[in-house]
Amino acid sequence: MTMPDARPPVAGAWRAVLARDLKLSWRQRSDLVNPLLFYLITITLLPLGVDPSRQLLGSIAPGMLWIMALLATLLSLDSLFRCDYEDGTLVQFQLSSEPLFLTVLGKITAYWLTTGLPLALVSPLLAVMLALPPSGYLALVLSLLLGTAIMALIGALGAALTVCLRAGGLILTLVVMPLYLPVLIIGANAVSSAVAGFGYGRELALLGAGLALALMVMPAAVAGALRVSANQ
């Protein structure tokens, strides 16, 4: 007689997909570096294109660091479901007895761990280059940690809607950008008010609320979109 599996089956699907995706991205390590390099390069372009004076850079740094992080996330979104769509894994996910939204949530978690988390962690380094006052570092990292998670959840919907289209990248940008707007406003404000010497607990609370809402709504919406688009 075998012992019943102590692990709840619900978390099992999530964990299995998460482990699979993390392993896959570890085997393609060069892809992991791409968003970070994009972040670094666009930040390097900024002083060259605008003005290298520390005063000006410091004043636009909170917004610029956030915008560049947003663009770096956007760049990597297109590949989120692409491989699984092309080799038929997505159809297998739908056929499996596990709920699709959990599988999707596993994929989004892995995606965030490999793009959003590194972006948030390297952001203080780029903040030093952009002469952001040191009082803003912690706010930048914390707001990016929460913000990239929300952006990963929203972006997954865009990726799911456009996975079957050949020129999906452009329409993906148009679909996702308006939905990113509140995250950008609140996140960049968290950094600016930290720099100005005010508290930023309110902004972090708003981002946390946004993350909770996105966690509730988005996996189901992404699963619904995949059911349509993956069968095209």
Partner 1 sequence: MAWQWFHRLGSPRWFYEKTGRWLVWFAPITIALLVIGFTWGLAFAPVDAKQGNSYRIIFIHMPAAVLSLAGYYLMAIAGGIGLIWKMKLPFMVMKSAAVIGVAFTALTLITGSLWGYPTWGTFWEWDARNIFMLILLFLYLSIVLLGQVYPEQEAADKVCAILALVGTVNVPIIYKSVDWWYSLHQPASIKFTGSSSIHPSMLYPLLLCIVAYYCFYTLSLILYTRQEILAREARTKWVAALVEPGTENRVKG
Closer CB to partner 1, residue 24 or residue 179? 179
Compute the radius of gyration of the chain from its Cα atoms.
Answer: 19
Q: Does residue 95 touch partner 1 according to CB under 8 A?
A: no
What is the size of the binding site for partner 1 (CB under 8 A)?
Answer: 27
- What is the footprint of partner 1 within residues 170-229 (CB under 8 A)? 171, 174-175, 177-179, 181-182, 185-186, 189, 210, 213, 217-218, 221, 224-225, 228-229
Q: DSSP secondary structure string, 79-118?
A: TTTHHHHHTTHHHHHHHSSS-HHHHHHHHHHHHIIIIIHH
Does 33 bind partner 1 (CB under 8 A)? Our answer is no
Task: Report which DSSP code applies to 133.
Answer: -
Give the x-and-dash track for 140-159 against partner 1 (CB under 8 A): -----------------x--
From 41-49, 75-83, 109-117, 164-172, span contacting partner 1 (CB under 8 A): 164-172
Dihedral sign of CA atoms 212, 213, 214, 217 in order: positive
What is the DSSP code string of 142-186? HHHHHHHHHHHHHHHHHHHHHTT-TTHHHHHHHHHHHHHHHHHHH
Q: State which residue, 32 or 175, has the beta carbon closest to partner 1.
A: 175
Measured from the CB of residue 165, what is the shortest distance to partner 1 in angstroms? 6
Nearest alpha-carbon partner for 153 in 216, 221, 214, 207: 214
Is residue 144 within 8 Å of 70, Cβ to Cβ?
no
Our finding on whether 232 is near partner 1 (CB under 8 A) is yes
- The contact set with partner 1 (CB under 8 A) reads 157, 161-162, 165, 167, 171, 174-175, 177-179, 181-182, 185-186, 189, 210, 213, 217-218, 221, 224-225, 228-229, 231-232
